[in-house]
Amino acid sequence: MTQMNQAMIEKYRSSFLKEVETNVEEGHWVKMCMQCGVCSGSCPLGPHWEHPPQEIFMMIRANKRDEVLKSSSMWFCTSCYNCIARCPRGLPITHIMHGLASYSKKLGLAPKSQPTESFGQIFWNSIASNGRVNELKIGLALQFKDGFGQGVKNAMAQKDLGMAMMKTKRMNPMEFFGGHTCKDKSGIARMLKKAQEVEDQHIANYGAGK
Amino acid sequence: MAKREYSYYPGCSSQKKASADNFMRSANAMCDALDITLKEIDDWNCCGASIGYAGGGEIPRLSLSARNIALSKQQHGDADIIAPCAACWIATKEAEERVEHNPRVREGINAALAEIGLKVEPAQMPKTRHMVEMLVEDIGLDTIANGKKKGLEGLTIAGYVGCQTNRPFGIAGESFENPKYLDNMVEAVGAKAVDRYAKKVACCSGALMFSEPEKGQALVRDIIEAAYDGGADMIVTPCQLCQMNVESYQTDINKRFGTKFNIPVVYYTQLIAVAYGKSAEEAGLDGQIIKATKLEALAGK
Ligand code: SF4
Ligand code: SF4
C-alpha cells in the first residue's frame, strides 16, 4: 500500500465522499446524483462493469472505499458521453469515471494488469516523451507488453492489418526510429512535470485553501 | 465563395503517414475547393485523447490542450481553432471550460504553462470548433450542395456519427439521439442517406478496441450490420477513430462472428472532395483498406 493511500485513509477516515470531492476530477458533483440509473443503462460495455456508474456513486456515499477504488469498473468506460448527454442532474459522469480510475492508480489500488490501464499508460508515455502520439510504437508496445514470446504471437496475428496500413500509407515503419514529435519536447516535459506537482500538492494538502 | 481563414491542428492520427493520413489529404482537397485556408498551429501537441487519463491526471492532461490554445492565440490571434478530430475538439473545449469555470484548475494549468512562458486567461481564449461546425455553420450545406461539380448519384450511405462528434457538445441545433447533419451532408453531395440508421450514434468502443478487442469488435459488428440492413453501399463518418475501428477490423470480425462484412468506411471530407471534382488520390481514396470502388468510379468521371 502506498504512503499516499495510507495518508488519505487516515485523513478521510469517516468520509470517502469528502475524499472524492477533494481529490477526484469533478468529484464535487457526486452528491448531486439522485440514483435514477439512467447512466448505468447507457454504457456500451455495460455488461462488463462490475459496478455501473450509478452503483459507484451510491458506494461512494456508503463509504465503500476499497470496493470502489479497487474495482475494474471505471476502466470499461469508453468515453462515449452517453451518460453526460442523458443524466437529469447534469453530472459529468465520464470525467468522474476517468478521475476515479486515475486516482485509484495514483494510490496504487487499480487492479493489476488491467488491459485498458496498461494501454492508456503506454499511450500517455508516448505523449509525455514526444508531445505527440507515435502510433507504431504504441502498437508494438501494446503487443509486446506481456513479454517477447506473446508479443511475436500478437504481432503475427495483426500482421495483415499492419501490412494493409502500410500499403495505404497510413502507417510508416520509419516511425520506429523517431517519427512524429514536437520541437519543444523538453518544454512539454517541464510543463507536465509542473502540472503533476501541482496536482499532487493539492492532494497532499487535503485541498486546503481551495 | 468567400475566402475564410482559420487556425487549426490536425491531431496525431491525421499527420502524414499516420492512421488517418487519407483524412487530412481529403480535408485539404475539400478546403481548397471551398476556399478555406487552415493555418497550422506551429509545434502543436497531442490533446491527450480520452484515454490519456490512465497516465495523466486532470491538470497534466488539460495543460496539453491549454498549450495548444495559448500557441494558437500567440500565432493566430483570435482566429477560431478548427479541430478535425473529435477527441481533440472535446479535449480542447473541456480545457477551455475548466479554465473559465474552475479557478483551482486554471491556476494549476497556468503554473504549468508558466514553465514555457505561456498563459491562458478566461474570456480571452480563441473558440475551438469542429471542422463539421465550420462546414455547417460558416459555409452552409446549401452552399456546398449548390457549388458541387457532380452529384454522387447511385450511392446509398449510412451516416455513422458515433459518440464524440455528437456528445457532450454536439453540433448546435442537433439532437443527441438523432442528429441529422451527416445525412444532410450526404444528401447535399447528391447521394442517398440511409433512413433511420439504427446505430448512427452508437459507440465503436473508442480506444478500448486496442485493450478489449473482443468486446470492441462486438460493438462494431452491430454498427456494420445495421448499415447493411439499411441497404448501405458504404459508411461515412466524421471521426478518425470510428473510421479506423469500423473499417480495419472487418477481417477479424468476420473470423470471430462468422459474418461476411466488406463495407467501405469513408470520411465526409472525401465525399465533398469527390463531389467537387477532386481525383480519387486527392480525396485520399487510395487510403481505404476496403476500397470504396463506387466512389472511386465517380471520382474518375
Ligand atoms: S444518470 Fe445522473 S442522476 Fe441518474 S444515476 Fe446516473 S449520475 Fe445519478
Ligand atoms: S462515457 Fe463512460 S460512463 Fe458514460 S456512458 Fe459512456 S462508458 Fe458509460
Q: What is the DSSP annotation of chain B?
A: ---EEEEE---GGGSTTSTTHHHHHHHHHHHHHTTEEEEEPTT-----TTGGGGTS-HHHHHHHHHHHHHHHHHHHTTPPEEESSHHHHHHHHHHHHHHHH-HHHHHHHHHHHHTTT----TT-SPPEEEHHHIIIIII-HHHHHHH-SS--TT-EEEE---STTTSSS--TT--SSS--HHHHHHHHTT-EEPTT-TTTT----TTHHHHSHHHHHHHHHHHHHHHHHTT-SEEEES-HHHHHHHHHTHHHHHHHH-------EEEHHHHHHHHTT--TTTTTGGG-SS--HHHHHHHH-
Least confident of A27-31, A126-130, A205-209: A205-209
Q: What is the pLDDT of residue A170?
A: 74
Q: Which of A111, A143, A174 is the last residue of a domain?
A: A111
Q: What residue spans in chain B does CATH classification 1.20.1050.140 cover?
A: 4-131
Which of A43, A89, A97 has most ligand 1 atoms within 8 Å of CB, for mutation?
A: A89
Q: Which three cell numbers stand for residue B165?
A: 462528434
Pick the residue from chain A with its C-alpha nearest to B169: A85
Q: What is the pLDDT of residue B197?
A: 97
Q: What is the pLDDT of residue A209?
A: 46
Q: Which CA distances in Å does A131 have to A36, B68, B236?
A: 41, 11, 30
Residues A31 and A70 in one domain: yes
The chain-wide mean pLDDT, for chain A, equals 87
Distance CA(A194)–CA(B283), nearest Å, equals: 42
pLDDT in tens, B225-281: 999 999 999 999 999 999 999 999 999 999 999 999 999 999 999 999 999 999 999
Distance CA(A97)–CA(B53), nearest Å, equals: 10
A185 Cα distance to chain centroid:
23
Check pocket membership of A91 for ligand 1, CB cut-off 6 A: yes
Q: Which three cell numbers stand for residue B254?
A: 468476420
Residues 6+ apart with CB under 8 A from B107: A198
Distance CA(A187)–CA(B33), nearest Å, equals: 38
Pick the residue from chain B with its C-alpha nearest to A143: B210
Residues A103 and A130 in one domain: no
Q: Kindly provide the ipTM of the predicted complex, given to two decimals.
A: 0.94
Closest Cβ–Cβ partner in B116, B248, B288 for A184: B116
Residues in A 27-66 with any Cβ partner in B closer than 8 A: 44-45, 48
Please indicate, yes or no, if residue A103 is contained in any of the structural domains.
yes
**A117 sits in which H/E element:** helix A115-130
CA distance B206 to chain A (A): 6
Q: What is the pLDDT of residue B87?
A: 94
Contact A169 B22 (CB under 8 A): yes
Q: Look up the CATH architecture of domain B4-131.
A: Up-down Bundle (1.20)
Q: Which domain holds residue A176?
A: 115-187
Answer yes or no: are the C-beta atoms of B277 and B235 closer than 8 Å. Answer: no
Residues A100 and A135 in one domain: no
Contact A195 B167 (CB under 8 A): no
pLDDT in tens, B167-207: 999 999 999 999 999 999 999 999 999 999 999 999 999 99
Q: At residue A181, what are phi and psi to the nearest 5 degrees?
A: -145, 170
Please indicate, yes or no, if residue A174 is contained in any of the structural domains.
yes
pLDDT in tens, B76-125: 999 999 999 999 999 999 999 999 999 999 999 999 999 999 999 999 99
End-to-end CA distance of chain A: 28
Strands B128-130 and B36-40: unpaired
Q: What is the pLDDT of residue B135?
A: 97
Q: Which CA distances in Å does A33 have to A29, A134, B118, B206?
A: 8, 39, 37, 26
Chain B contact for A124 (CB, 8 A cutoff): yes
pLDDT in tens, B116-152: 999 999 999 999 999 999 999 999 999 999 999 999 9
Q: Which ligand is nearest to the CA of B203?
A: 2
Chain B contact for A178 (CB, 8 A cutoff): no
Residues A29 and A83 in one domain: yes
Chain B contact for A156 (CB, 8 A cutoff): no
Answer yes or no: are the C-beta atoms of A91 and A42 closer than 8 Å. Answer: no
Least confident of A16-20, A177-181, B91-95: A177-181
Residues A17 and A91 in one domain: yes
Total domains, chain A = 2
Distance CA(B280)–CA(B301), nearest Å, equals: 10
Asked if residue A137 has pLDDT above 70, the reply is no
Check pocket membership of A35 for ligand 1, CB cut-off 6 A: yes
Q: What is the pLDDT of residue A143?
A: 64
Mean of the pLDDT values across residues A162-183? 71
Up-side HSE of residue A71: CA atoms within 13 Å toward CB?
24
Higher pLDDT, A119 or A56: A56
How many Cβ atoms sit within 10 Å of the Cβ of residue A144?
15
Asked if residue B163 has pLDDT above 80, the reply is yes
* Bridge partners, B234 (sequence order): B157
pLDDT in tens, B3-43: 899 999 999 888 877 778 899 999 999 999 999 999 999 99
Mean of the pLDDT values across residues B39-66? 94
Distance CA(A150)–CA(A92), nearest Å, equals: 38
pTM of the model: 0.93
Contact A195 B206 (CB under 8 A): no
Q: Which of A111, A127, A159 is the last residue of a domain?
A: A111
CATH code of the domain made up of B149-299: 3.40.50.11810
Residues A141 and A86 in one domain: no
Asked if residue A116 has pLDDT above 90, the reply is yes
Asked if residue A68 has pLDDT above 60, the reply is yes
